[in-house]
Structure 1
Amino acid sequence: MAPDTRALDVGALGTGPRPRPPLGALRPRGVTRLLIYSHDSFGLGHLRRCRSIAQNLVQTYPDLEVLILSGLPIIASYAFDERVRYRLVPGIIKLSNGDYKALDAADIREAIDARSRLILETAQEFQPDLFLIDKEPLGIRGEVTDTLVYLKERGVPVVLGVRDVMDDPVAFAAEWERKLAVPALEDYFSEIWVYGMERIYRPLEGLPLPAAVEQKIVYTSYLWREENRAPSAEPLPVDPPFLLVTPGGGGDGEGLVDWVLSAYERATDLLRALIVCGPFMHAESRRRIEARAARLRHVEVLTFAPDMERLMTAATAVVAMGGYNTFCEILSFDKPSLIVPRTRPRLEQFIRAREAERQGLLRMLPHDEDNPDPQQMIDALKALPSQPRPSSVVIPGLLDGHSAIAHRFAALTGLAADAPIRAASA
């Protein structure tokens, strides 16, 4: 399946299944509003995490409206609750050398200025009761700063949400020092939500955080993912049993897929494989993969799957790079998994896989990019279906992230849940 390429103009509002009034329309009595800034410079991970949080919160609070700011036009491919909307800002991508590039503007500074203005204008129109910022306290190159000042003047609580793992502690500390992140956390933020468990990994440990910032940290646990139980008109691309191979968004996933294909080219007794390349894999890389897979009777290839939860549910086991969302899905759908993490430009995936393997939740297979061994992958794929499931390890509260977020959201906004907030472990 190819990603949706419907035109969505910068600044345009995307909606759920039914049209909604303009942002500036008079707010109905009793309605609470959440604005989410999705850090979308690379891959799908940030958008998918923000979407998951938004969808779960509106299911808990019937009078909540959510607006997601995103720079990814592919957001139009995803289904949203009717009380979750999104607004497109000018797109920016992060290059392998760490620089940023504007998708539709010659000058990156023009794109940042345009994004900054649109983010502030959106906050002024939407008038949120809470602002949730994903990953970057000040946004890309400080683009959220004006909005933070505006909301602080109005007493609106602001929360930073970060992954369970950010990067190697030394590299991460240097990055946050360069971006003036810690002073921003002191000045503007009410809480810092870490979407993981303190007993597994502490991503902010070792940073020079003042006590006032340390006290703002809340470990939510991981974000439970639920299968979309709505009937689908589309049949599964392959019939079970099969291995699901997913490099996430795919921007840096060719190495994993190449290694898996090298195993299938040499072994005919492996379980059938479904490879989802991801929408950001380079077209030439994808064509090479499709050409190789076409010669293999037990390998199928998709470009993109907006319903990854459905595929994950049907799969026997999973081969992945170990991004945050995929890890949450592996835990939620209780799938044996083989994780082949990237180590450049960040160690995030490697650290996550290493710590999860220590807990007995998965198996990690380090990737020798210069000399990958097909037989090593063959052996790992053969062993994968009989590997213990994550549920064989009991970690209380492992997937209670959405419950914790709902409680913290209520505490910061004064909302009351329509029904008791259910934890995934309940």
Structure 2
Amino acid sequence: MSLSLIDDSGTRRPPAGPHAPRVLIYSHDTFGLGHIRRCRAIANSLVASYPHISVIIVSGSSVISSFQFGDGVDYVRIPGIEKQSDGRYFPHHLNLDLGDTIRLRTEIIKQVVLSFDPDVVIVDKEPLGLRGELAPSLEILRRRGARIVLGLRDVLDEPCKLNEEWRLSGAVDALAHVYDDIFVYGLESVYNPLLGLPNQHLFADKVRYTGYLKRAVPSPMPPNRHPRITKGPFILVTPGGGGDGAGVIDWVISAYEADPTIELPALIVFGPFMSREKRKEFTDRIGRLPKLESIGFEPRLELLMNRAHCVVAMGGYNTFCEILSFDKPALIVPRVKPRREQAIRAERADSLRLIDVLHDPMQNGDGPRDPMQMAKALHALPKRLPPSQAYLPDLLEGLPAISRALADELSSPVRRRALTQNAMAAG
């Protein structure tokens, strides 16, 4: 796997004219970093391929301002909604009830759609948006003739749960009647995220497997002051956003406490959503172990991933893409609640010899975590072959595949849809 791809999202380009094509990307962002990081990667790739276009990301992420976007990309932040570990939703900051917050988000999204008037819309994961908040905007977009694309990660959930959830929300009908395309950011040989949905004949011809989204080393690279252990070989431990990552971090720390002979030191990145209490508890324990160091949040995690010798992670989609992109031996400790998405991905990847998987017994109700089980896995991890040794064709072709698929709408220097509408109005 080549590591030559460089993220040039900081590069300035000449401004485009007001009539260049426009893309809107919707990301509901209720938990963690996954959705906004995926949308950012797609947006930056599109403006790299089509420098004249404009992209707006509509997102509920509370940390979206921490990320670097390419010239031609901007964002509108809608009021945040937080998803609890039990699956319930609450407003993140506002002192409103959930219904009022959803109505406010719905109106903001609709106004962005009306004002920006995109040629292409990419909806991340939720066909009708959170609690149906996107439905009014989708009606407007259909009337205006925009190309509407649903973008799905490789795994959504267990088929029975996805079927129930999407049937009740009306999402299955939207696949058939609202969307022009369904992009799956993975490979069919790894997993079919729509497995088990009814009436597949109504939307099967819209599905396109793009491959995974390759991540890049950020450039230009400012001076980063990372902990001393990153100067040599080390294990990167990342729970993604960190909101539900305390278990894997506790297990890794306990392994170093129980077995000081683990060869490689480890850098633990807590993530922005880990509670202060847990972070303090872990920091105190790490301070007593010479082979462990920690940092809070690194929005340019690709720098550390590229530098690390190997990785321990929970197995969210974006972390999995980074592991593949930077070709790192990896141990995945997936969560199983509120969705089995990570466990399904990890088990499939393990069967394809891309990574190793270790299940957390406490998540499965099988008893306490054994520090020596994790220590054994950490001893073996540096000797594991990288993912590239399990060759899968087109594994990381997602970003160029998306750009090619949207070429008809984005390659022209002017907005073809706007020209068509003007011609029809004149006639």
TM-score, normalised via structure 2 length: 0.90
Structure 2 residue 246 is the aligned partner of structure 1 residue 254 = yes
- What RMSD, in angstroms, separates the aligned Cα atoms of the two structures? 1.9
| Aligned: 1:241 with 2:229 | no
Deviation at 1:414, TM superposition (A): 5.3
Measured against aligned partners, the alpha-carbon deviations of 1:391-414 in whole angstroms (never above 9, x if no partner) come to 111111000001110111114x15
308, 328, 333: which is aligned to 2:321? 328
1:318 aligns with 2:315: no
1:224 counterpart = 2:210: no
In 2, distance between residues paired with 1:154 and 1:342?
Answer: 41
1:338-417 equivalences in 2 (<5 Å)? 338-369=331-362, 370-411=367-408, 413=409, 415=411
Paired amino acid for 2:82:
I
The answer on 1:31 being equivalent to 2:20 is yes
Q: Contact 1:61–1:416 at 8 Å: present in 2 too?
A: no
CA distance in 1, matches of 2:308, 2:10: 28
- Structure 2 residues without counterparts, runs of 5 or longer: 1-8, 414-427
Q: Which amino acid aligns with 1:59?
A: A
User: How far apart are 1:236 and its partner, in Å?
Assistant: 2.8
- What's the offset of the Cα at 1:150? 0.5
**1:67 & 1:105 partners in 2: Cα distance?**
27
Contact kept, 8 Å, 1:38 with 1:47, in 2: the verdict is yes
Relative to structure 1, the CA distance from residue 230 to residue 20 in structure 2 (aligned partners, 3 Å threshold; closer, same or farther) is closer
Q: Helix, strand or coil for the counterpart of 2:127?
A: coil
Question: How far apart are the structure 2 equivalents of 1:363 and 1:211?
Answer: 36
Cα drift, residue 361 of structure 1: 0.4
Maintained 8 Å contact 2:10/2:219: no
Instruction: Specify the alignment match of 1:283 in structure 2.
Output: 276
Matched, 1:272 2:262: no
CA contact (8 A) 2:86 2:337 kept: no
Equivalent residues of 1:339, 1:353 under 8 A apart: yes
Q: Distance in 1 between matches of 2:347 and 2:256?
A: 26
CA separation of 1:268/1:210 partners in 2, compared to 1, >3 Å: closer, same or farther?
A: closer
CA distance in 2, matches of 1:121, 1:16: 28
Question: 2-side partners of 1:57 and 1:115: how far apart?
Answer: 26
Is the CA contact 2:17–2:52 (under 8 Å) kept in the aligned structure 1? no
For residue 212 of structure 1, report the CA deviation from its aligned partner: 2.6
What letter corresponds to residue 258 of structure 1 in structure 2?
A: D
Q: In 2, Cα distance between the equivalents of 1:100 and 1:75? A: 19
**Secondary structure in 2 matching 1:265:** helix
**Residue 19 of structure 1: CA displacement?**
12
Task: Provide the residue aligned with 2:57 in structure 1.
Answer: 68
CA contact (8 A) 1:105 1:111 kept: no
How far 1:72 moved relative to its partner? 1.6
Letter in 2 for 1:220: T
Matches within 5 A, 1:89-108: 89-103=78-92, 104-108=94-98
Report the alpha carbon displacement of residue 20 of structure 1 after superposing the two structures with TM: 12
The Cα of 1:298 is off from its aligned counterpart by: 1.2
Aligned-pair CA distance for 1:87: 0.6
For the 8 Å contact 2:85–2:244, the answer to whether it is kept is: no
| Aligned residue type for 2:231 | D
Q: Which residue of 1 aligns with 2:423?
A: none
Report sequence identity in percent: 47
Residue pairs, 1:111-150, within 5 angstroms: 111-150=101-140
CA deviation string 1:87-124 (max 9, x = no partner): 11011011223221012132111110110000000011
Contact 1:248/1:321 (CA < 8 Å) preserved in 2? yes
Q: Indicate the residue corresponding to 1:58 in structure 2.
A: 47
CA distance, structure 2, for counterparts of residue 316 and residue 55 of structure 1: 27
**Counterpart Cα distance in 2 of 1:246 and 1:53:** 22
SS of equivalent residue, structure 1 residue 256 = helix
Deviations 1:341-400 (A, max 9, x none): 011111100000000011110100111113101111001001101101101111110000
Contact 2:50 2:410 in 1 (8 A): no
- SS of the equivalent of 1:221 reads coil
1:403 alignment partner AA: P
3-state SS of the aligned residue for 1:122? helix
SS in 2 for 1:249: coil
How many residues end up aligned between the 2 structures? 397
The answer (yes or no) to whether the contact 1:40–1:47 under 8 Å persists in 2 is: yes
Distance in 1, Cα, partners of 2:85 & 2:236: 27
Q: Return the alpha-carbon distance in structure 1 between the equivalents of residues 272 and 389 of structure 2.
A: 33
Tell me by how many angstroms 1:416 deviates: 5.5
Residue identity in the other structure for 1:214: A
Q: Which amino acid aligns with 2:131?
A: R
Ranges in structure 1 where 5+ consecutive residues have no aligned partner:
1-14, 22-26, 418-426
Equivalence for 1:205: 195
Q: Return the TM-score normalized by structure 1.
A: 0.90
Q: CA 1:416/1:402 → structure 2, altered by over 3 Å: closer, same or farther? A: farther
The letter of the residue matching 1:55 is: N
Q: Distance in 1 between matches of 2:121 and 2:370?
A: 47
Match of 1:6 in 2: none
Give the Å deviation of 1:303. Answer: 1.0
Give the aligned residue type for 1:364.
V
- The SS at the match of 1:295 is coil
Q: Secondary structure at the match of 1:46?
A: helix
Give 1:232 shift: 2.0
Task: Identify which of 61, 64, 80 aligns with 2:69.
Answer: 80
